Structure 1
Amino acid sequence: MHFTDTYLPRRDGVVTSLRTLRAAQAAAGHDVHCVVPAHGDQEDEPGLLRVPALACGVADLRLARWPLATRRSRERLVADLAAYRPDVVHVHTPGPAGLLGVLLADRTGARLVQTYHTDLHAYADAYKVPGWALRLLLRLYTRRLGVPAPAAGDRAAVLTEGNRLLLGPATAVVVPTRAVLDRVALPVPAQRLALVPTGVGERPASRAEAGAFRAGHGIGPRDPLVLFVGRVNREKGVDLLVRAFARILADRPDAWLVLVGAVYEPRWLARLLRDAGAGIADRVVCTGQQPPHVVAAAYAAADVFAFPSRTDTQALVLQEAALAGLPAVLADPSLHRHGALDGHAALAAPEPEAFAAAVLGLLGDRRAARRLGAAARTRAAAHTPQRYAAAMHAVYTMAADTTAAVGTTRAVAAG
Structure 2
Amino acid sequence: MSGVRVAHFCDSHPGRSDGVAISVATTVTLLRDAGHEVQVYQPAPLLRGRAEPCGVRSVPVPLRNVRIGVPRFPGMRRVPEVVHIHTQGPVGVGGLRYARAHDIPVVMTWHTDLLAYSAHFMEIQLGAAHAAQRLQVGWTVRDYLKLTRPGTERRAQLVRVGQEFLDRTAILIAPSEKTAASLAEFERVPPVWTVPTSVTLPDCPLSRDDLRRSLRLPADAPVVLAVGRATKEKDPQLLLEAFARLLRRLPDARLVMLGVLQRRQAVLRQARQAGVAHALRLVRPVPHASMAAYYRMADVLAFASTTDTQGLVLIEAEAQGLPVVLADAALAGTHRLSTAPDADSFAAALVRVLTDPSLHREVAEAGRAAAGAYSTQNYLDHLLRAYSAAQGVARASVGASLAARTAG
TM-score (norm 1): 0.86
1:318 to 307, 314, 318: 314
Q: Give the aligned partner of residue 108 of structure 2.
A: 114
RMSD (CA atoms): 2.4
Q: Note the alpha carbon deviations across 1:62-99, whole angstroms, 9 max, x for none.
A: 01124xxxxxxxxxx34333x52111110000100001
On the 8 A contact 1:260/1:295 being kept in 2, the answer is no
Following superposition, the deviation at residue 275 of structure 1 comes to 1.4
Q: Give the aligned partner of residue 400 of structure 2.
A: none
Q: Give the aligned partner of residue 332 of structure 2.
A: 336
The residue identity in structure 1 corresponding to 2:343 is P
2:233 to 225, 232, 235: 235
Q: Greater relative contact order (Cα 8 A, min sep 6): structure 1 or 2? A: 1
Q: Give the aligned partner of residue 176 of structure 1.
A: 175
Q: After alignment, is 375-384 or 152-161 more displaced?
A: 152-161
Q: What is the alpha-carbon distance in structure 2 between the residues aligned to residue 308 and residue 97 of structure 1?
A: 30
Q: Give the aligned partner of residue 65 of structure 1.
A: 70
SS at 1:48 equivalent? coil
On the 8 A contact 2:132/2:161 being kept in 1, the answer is no
Q: What is the alpha-carbon distance in structure 2 between the residues aligned to residue 43 and residue 17 of structure 1?
A: 24
The residue identity in structure 1 corresponding to 2:55 is R
Q: What is the alpha-carbon distance in structure 1 between the residues aligned to residue 220 and residue 14 of structure 2?
A: 35
Following superposition, the deviation at residue 16 of structure 1 comes to 1.3
Following superposition, the deviation at residue 58 of structure 1 comes to 6.4
Q: What is the alpha-carbon distance in structure 1 between the residues aligned to residue 165 and residue 116 of structure 2?
A: 18
| Structure 2 residue 98 is matched with structure 1 residue 100 | no
> Counterparts of 1:34-113 in structure 2 under 5 Å?
34-39=40-45, 47-57=52-62, 59-66=64-71, 77-81=72-76, 83-113=77-107
2:353 to 350, 362, 383: 362
On the 8 A contact 2:163/2:188 being kept in 1, the answer is no
The residue identity in structure 2 corresponding to 1:195 is T
On the 8 A contact 2:89/2:127 being kept in 1, the answer is no
SS at 1:378 equivalent? helix
Q: What is the alpha-carbon distance in structure 1 between the residues aligned to residue 272 and residue 174 of structure 2?
A: 38
The residue identity in structure 2 corresponding to 1:281 is A
Following superposition, the deviation at residue 260 of structure 1 comes to 0.4
Q: Note the alpha carbon deviations across 1:295-352, whole angstroms, 9 max, x for none.
A: 2111010001100110000000000000110001011111113xxxxx2121111111
Following superposition, the deviation at residue 354 of structure 1 comes to 1.1
On the 8 A contact 2:111/2:309 being kept in 1, the answer is yes
The residue identity in structure 1 corresponding to 2:29 is A
The residue identity in structure 2 corresponding to 1:39 is P
On the 8 A contact 1:9/1:41 being kept in 2, the answer is no
Q: Give the aligned partner of residue 148 of structure 1.
A: 138
Q: Give the aligned partner of residue 262 of structure 2.
A: 264
In 2 relative to 1, CA 223–23 (structure 1 residues): closer, same or farther, beyond 3 Å? same
> Counterparts of 1:117-128 in structure 2 under 5 Å?
117-127=111-121
Q: What is the alpha-carbon distance in structure 2 between the residues aligned to residue 139 and residue 332 of structure 1?
A: 30
2:300 to 295, 301, 304: 304
| Structure 2 residue 336 is matched with structure 1 residue 345 | yes
Following superposition, the deviation at residue 186 of structure 1 comes to 5.2
On the 8 A contact 1:229/1:317 being kept in 2, the answer is yes
TM-score (norm 2): 0.87
SS at 1:126 equivalent? coil
Q: What is the alpha-carbon distance in structure 2 between the residues aligned to residue 288 and residue 275 of structure 1?
A: 22
On the 8 A contact 1:200/1:316 being kept in 2, the answer is yes
Structure 2: any 5+ residue segments left out of the alignment?
1-6, 147-152, 397-408
Structure 1: any 5+ residue segments left out of the alignment?
67-76, 338-342, 406-415
SS at 2:55 equivalent? strand
The residue identity in structure 2 corresponding to 1:141 is A
SS at 2:207 equivalent? helix
1:286 to 282, 289, 300: 282
On the 8 A contact 1:13/1:315 being kept in 2, the answer is yes
SS at 2:36 equivalent? coil
Q: What is the alpha-carbon distance in structure 1 between the residues aligned to residue 290 and residue 47 of structure 2?
A: 20
On the 8 A contact 1:168/1:187 being kept in 2, the answer is no
On the 8 A contact 1:167/1:188 being kept in 2, the answer is no
Following superposition, the deviation at residue 158 of structure 1 comes to 2.1
Following superposition, the deviation at residue 231 of structure 1 comes to 0.8
| Structure 2 residue 18 is matched with structure 1 residue 12 | yes
Q: What is the alpha-carbon distance in structure 2 between the residues aligned to residue 119 and residue 58 of structure 1?
A: 23
Aligned residues: 381
Q: After alignment, is 380-389 or 320-329 more displaced?
A: 380-389
Following superposition, the deviation at residue 367 of structure 1 comes to 2.7
The residue identity in structure 1 corresponding to 2:305 is S
Q: After alignment, is 297-306 or 151-160 more displaced?
A: 151-160
In 2 relative to 1, CA 7–201 (structure 1 residues): closer, same or farther, beyond 3 Å? same
On the 8 A contact 1:113/1:174 being kept in 2, the answer is yes
In 2 relative to 1, CA 190–273 (structure 1 residues): closer, same or farther, beyond 3 Å? same
- Percent of aligned pairs with the same residue? 32
Q: What is the alpha-carbon distance in structure 1 between the residues aligned to residue 47 and residue 322 of structure 2?
A: 33
Q: What is the alpha-carbon distance in structure 2 between the residues aligned to residue 404 and residue 51 of structure 1?
A: 30
Q: Give the aligned partner of residue 295 of structure 1.
A: 291
1:378 to 335, 357, 369: 369
Q: What is the alpha-carbon distance in structure 2 between the residues aligned to residue 294 and residue 43 of structure 1?
A: 30
| Structure 2 residue 212 is matched with structure 1 residue 222 | no
Q: Give the aligned partner of residue 207 of structure 2.
A: 209
In 2 relative to 1, CA 186–33 (structure 1 residues): closer, same or farther, beyond 3 Å? farther
On the 8 A contact 1:232/1:238 being kept in 2, the answer is yes
On the 8 A contact 1:204/1:324 being kept in 2, the answer is no
Following superposition, the deviation at residue 183 of structure 1 comes to 3.5
